[in-house]
Every structure is written in C-alpha cells, then in structure tokens.
Chain A
Amino acid sequence: MKRNKIYIILLVVILAAYFGYNYIYQEHRDISAETADYTINASDFIAEFINDSETAQTKYLNKTIVIHGDITAQTDNSITLNTSIFCSLLEPNTISQDTIVSMKGRCIGYDDLLEEIKLDQCTLTKINQ
C-alpha cells in the first residue's frame, strides 16, 4: 500500500511540474491561427469607432478580428485599409497590387492623433480581385 502511495505522489509531482512548466513558458498567442472573434467590413468597423471610439475600443481591444477592406496604402510592413485601419504585418508585405483583402489581426486600440484604428500581428486571409 505504501508503494502505491509513493507512485501516486510521484505522479502528482510530475503532473504539477509538467503543467507548471507549460504555464511559465507558455507561447505567445498565434493570432493567425485563432478563430476570429469578429468578422466585419472595414467601413462598418470604422463607423463604430467614429460613432463612439471609447465603446468600440473596449469592445475590440485585444480581440482577433478579420476585416474585409480596400487597400489604400501599404509599406513593407503594413497595410492600410480604407484609409483608417492600420494593419501592422507579422511578415513582410508580399502583395503586389492594390486590391480588396481580408486581414486577420489583433486590435491594439484607437489612435486619436491620426484617427486610425491599429491592429498588429496581421496576416492576409484572402485576396479578392
């Protein structure tokens, strides 16, 4: 009986160590693999922020969002949709021409200075010609 007890205690210790290690050294969220909390059109998304930026920001902050919109500007590391949504890309930009796209990213907040909504860790989910 004592032997069984030792085995059980050992098992608990190993499990605790395993879960403890995984908790401490957890991985960063993989935004591109997450299911989006919201899928929305760029114009509707922007309208929500123009209407009430505080409420919209609280609603979308830190959430994974898929946005369908027109590319109005782009750089090596970013894509701007409908002039007011700034998407910071996870990997360098490979889009060759201005198109309608679906971008998946995490909302990090509303930029009052330039009146833009900012997303980071963005990836392309679809290109529509």
Chain B
Amino acid sequence: MKHLVLTFLLLITLNITAQSKYITKTGSVIFEASVPSFEEVKATNKNTTAIINAENGEFAALVLVKGFRFKNALMEEHFNENYADSDDYPKATFKGKVTDFSIEDLNGSKKNKQYNGTITFHGKTKSLNNEVLSISKNADGSLNISGKLKLNVADFDIEIPKIVSNKLSREVDVIFEFVLTKK
C-alpha cells in the first residue's frame, strides 16, 4: 500500500513538473519611432499575451494592434487607419525559441539569453536571429522577460508618406516587458 501511494505521488509530481507553461495576459509592448526634436511617436500596449514553455524555451506572444495607445488621439487614429491597417491586420504575433533555456539556471540573477524566431505584422513575416532578451525569476516564482528589438518599417510593407517622412523614424524600437506566472 505504502509503495502504491509513493508511486502515485511520484507520478503526480512528475506530471506537474513536465508541463510548465508561464503566461501573462497583460504584457507590455512599447514601440517608439520618434525623430529627435519632432513630436513624440510612441505607443504602449499593456494587453499583450505571452506564453513561454519552460521545458524547451519556446515562446509565443500576441499583440492586438488596436490595443496600442498613443498620447495623441489623432496619431492613434492615423496609426490604425493609415499605417498599421489594424482593421485588416488586427494581430501582431511573435513565435520563437530561447536557446539553452533552463529554468534551473535562473536563481535570482538576471540572465541574458539569445533567441530566434519570427515576427508577423501588417501581413508580413520577418525572421529574427540571435536577438537577446533578459530573463530573471522572482521570489514568487514568476518570470520577468524583457528585451528590445530594432525593426525596419519597410520590412512590413508600411508606407510612410513623403510629407511626414522626416517626422517618423525608419527604424522602430520595440521594447517588451513581461511578468509571466506559472499556469
């Protein structure tokens, strides 16, 4: 009987550790395309969903484009209607894998890890190679994942009219920050 209970407990714990996914529904993604001394072009999305599989480092994030908030309402309207075409392309997705991800490695300190993946926005997919992100583990067991990307507007079929071409940066900084909790 004791043997049975022990085996049962062992099986349960193995099952729990085998499936470790960390999730957030309120991840933050900021993009900035400002040009110095011109009006700030910056938007924040605080409703990003992100999942990481702690077993193999596979990572996915989904950004609903309508969720990007700008300080200036007209800029937000232009972004949605003229640049991102968010009615036609309401989602931006990212899929990737962190190389050499190991949950045991993270003990309080922040680690920089490389990752590869693809990002899809405005109907176009671009691959990302050897980008870097930071991961750390919090006391409550949640994970902090953050990083920065430089993306070219042209790679995603987004046209910038000549009139505003010197007010928008061709290269956009994308900053992401996620606090993922174990599900």
Q: Does A120 contact B (CB under 8 A)?
A: yes
In the complex with contacts A77-B26, A114-B49, A28-B76 CB distance below 8 A: yes
Please name all residues of chain B whose beta carbon is closer than 8 Å to the beta carbon of A112 when the two chains form the complex. 62, 91
Which of B60, B73, B86, B91 is the one whose CB lies under 8 Å from A28?
A: B73
Q: Does B51 contact A (CB under 8 A)?
A: yes
Q: In the assembly, what is the distance between CA of A61 and CA of B87, in Å?
A: 7
A81-122 interface mask toward B, CB cutoff 8 Å, 1 = contact, 0 = none?
000001010000000000000000010110111101010100
Give the interface residue-count category, chain A.
20 to 34
Please name all residues of chain B whose beta carbon is closer than 8 Å to the beta carbon of A106 when the two chains form the complex. 66
Taking the closest CB of chain B, its distance from the CB of A74, in whole angstroms, is: 12
Contact between B64 and A109, CB atoms less than 8 A apart: yes
In the complex with contacts A108-B66, A109-B91, A114-B74 CB distance below 8 A: no
| 18 further contact pairs, Cβ within 8 A, besides A108-B64, A114-B49, A118-B47 | A25-B74, A26-B73, A27-B73, A28-B76, A77-B26, A78-B26, A88-B46, A108-B90, A111-B25, A111-B62, A112-B91, A113-B51, A113-B61, A114-B25, A116-B25, A116-B49, A118-B64, A120-B47
Residues of A within 8 A of B (CB): 23-29, 57-58, 61-62, 75, 77-78, 86, 88, 106, 108-109, 111-114, 116, 118, 120
Residues of B within 8 A of A (CB): 23, 25-26, 46-47, 49, 51, 60-62, 64-67, 72-74, 76, 86-87, 90-91
